[in-house]
């Protein structure tokens, strides 16, 4: 895997010296169609077998939806980029045990859903459809890009009592920066990659780098927020959650963890307890 990444990095950066536009298109293809689809872990299987499954078609792609409970006090869970719903099984179980009805999905191109790609627009559409089906959510909880997508969805039709964002970026273009850094791409390629994202993935959208960011128009979101981030997250820097906390000062609380990184944070018992406690705060009076 490392050798493959090194070869790709060398090829794109070399191409970028002579033909940065071509290198940008190549980078866009890798960004848009990642050749990764993670499997269900054995520890996740029991909870996923308990789920009621349904299917929704979004942008012509059939997506798989999972739900638990009796439908009362629904909580929407959204997974991160290149992930799947099963990664949120520990959180779903903790919420179910607390009397909530978790609902989640495999985004297009992830888990058991069809397609090769997805976007924040499809995350929003799935959140909209599930909101129409289940009604106002007691809470929405997202990990990584799933957390970012919730800010966007909540500004457009989706309603919830509380928001939990775990290890999520604040700025939409941070995803491009992270992709560039992960492949070691030259800065020469980045403007062409950004242009490709604007024109090919979001051709009908305007001002995407601001509108898709969690910090855009903070006055529009007034619900209480819990932000959870590990101080040594090697994928999404904790500074991103600090930006969100500053934008929503007075309504967002930042919980900083240590030693959990980007992935283990969503199954850590102390984090699960904190999330369930925050979600149920109103119920506890």
Question: Which residues of the chain register pLDDT less than 50?
Answer: 1, 3, 284-285
Compute the half-sphere exposure of residue 32: CA atoms within 13 Å on the CB side of its CA: 15
Three-state DSSP state, 250: coil
For residues 85 and 161, state if they share a domain: yes
Query: CATH number for the domain including 129?
Result: 3.40.50.1820
Which residues lie below 8 Å from residue 179, measured CB to CB, with a gap of 6+?
27, 31, 185, 193
Cα→Cα distances 275→87, 141, 164, 234, Å: 16, 9, 7, 22
Residues 206 and 65 in one domain: no
Residue 279 and residue 141 share a domain: yes
Quick one: pLDDT at residue 1?
47
117 and 188 together in one domain = no
160 & 52 share domain: yes
- Note the pLDDT of residue 178: 87
Of 211, 233, 259, which one is at a domain's C-terminal end?
Answer: 211
Q: Does 161 share its domain with 260?
A: yes
Give the C-alpha separation, 12 to 179, whole Å.
13
The counts of H helices and E strands in the chain are 11, 8
Number of domains within the chain = 2
* Whole-number pLDDT of residue 21: 75
Find the helix or strand (DSSP H, E) in which 5 lies: helix 2-18
The predicted pLDDT at position 13 comes to: 64
- State whether 122 and 229 are in the same domain: yes
Return the pLDDT at 6: 59
Instruction: Summarize pLDDT for 207-249 with one digit per residue, the tens.
Output: 999 999 999 999 999 999 999 999 999 999 999 999 999 999 9
> What would the two tokens of residue 27 be?
């980078």
Range of the domain at 285: 45-172+216-285
Q: What are phi and psi of 230, to 5 degrees?
A: -85, 140
pLDDT computed for residue 29 by the predictor: 86
Domain co-membership, 143 together with 247: yes
User: What phi and psi values does residue 201 have, to the nearest 5 degrees?
Assistant: -90, -35
Residues 155 and 182 in one domain: no
Q: Are residues 5 and 106 in the same domain?
A: no
**What pLDDT does residue 45 have?**
98
Alpha helices in 143-261 (DSSP H): 145-154, 174-183, 190-196, 208-211, 238-247
Tell me the C-alpha distance between 51 and 33, whole Å: 29
pLDDT of residue 216: 97
Q: What is the pLDDT of residue 16?
A: 61
11, 102: one domain: no
Residues 109 and 58 in one domain: yes
Contacts of 196 (CB under 8 A, 6+ apart): 24, 25, 27, 28
Can you name the residues that pair with 62 across neighbouring β-strands? Answer: 57
pLDDT above 90: percentage of residues in the chain: 79
Q: What is the DSSP string of 34-71?
A: -S--PPPPGGGHHHHHTSEEEEEEETTEEEEEEE-SSS
Average pLDDT, whole number, for the chain?
92
């Amino acid at each position: 895997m490392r050798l493959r990444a090194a070869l790709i990095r060398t090829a794109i950066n070399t191409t970028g010296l002579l033909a940065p536009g071509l290198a940008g298109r190549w980078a866009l293809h890798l960004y848009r169609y990642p050749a990764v689809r993670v499997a269900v872990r054995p520890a996740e299987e029991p909870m996923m077998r308990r789920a009621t499954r349904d299917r929704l078609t979004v942008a012509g792609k059939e997506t798989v939806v999972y739900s638990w409970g009796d439908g009362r006090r629904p909580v929407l869970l959204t997974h991160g980029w290149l992930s799947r719903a099963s990664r949120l099984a520990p959180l779903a179980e903790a919420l179910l045990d607390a009397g909530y009805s978790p609902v989640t999905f495999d985004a297009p191109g992830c888990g058991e859903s069809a397609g090769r790609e997805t976007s924040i627009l499809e995350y929003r559409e799935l959140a909209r459809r599930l909101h129409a089906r289940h009604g106002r959510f007691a809470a929405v909880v997202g990990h990584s890009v799933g957390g970012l997508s919730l800010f966007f969805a909540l500004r457009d039709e989706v309603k919830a009592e509380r928001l939990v964002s775990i290890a999520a970026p604040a700025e939409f273009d941070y995803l491009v920066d992270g992709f560039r850094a992960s492949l070691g791409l030259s800065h020469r390629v980045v403007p062409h990659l950004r242009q490709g994202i604007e024109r090919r993935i979001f051709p009908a959208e305007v001002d995407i780098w601001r509108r898709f960011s969690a910090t855009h128009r903070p006055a529009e979101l007034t619900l209480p927020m819990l932000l959870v981030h590990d101080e040594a997250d090697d994928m999404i820097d904790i500074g991103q959650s600090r930006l969100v906390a500053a934008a929503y000062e007075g309504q967002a609380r930042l919980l900083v963890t240590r030693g959990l990184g980007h992935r283990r944070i969503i199954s850590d018992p102390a984090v699960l307890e904190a999330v369930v406690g925050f979600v149920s705060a109103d119920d506890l009076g």
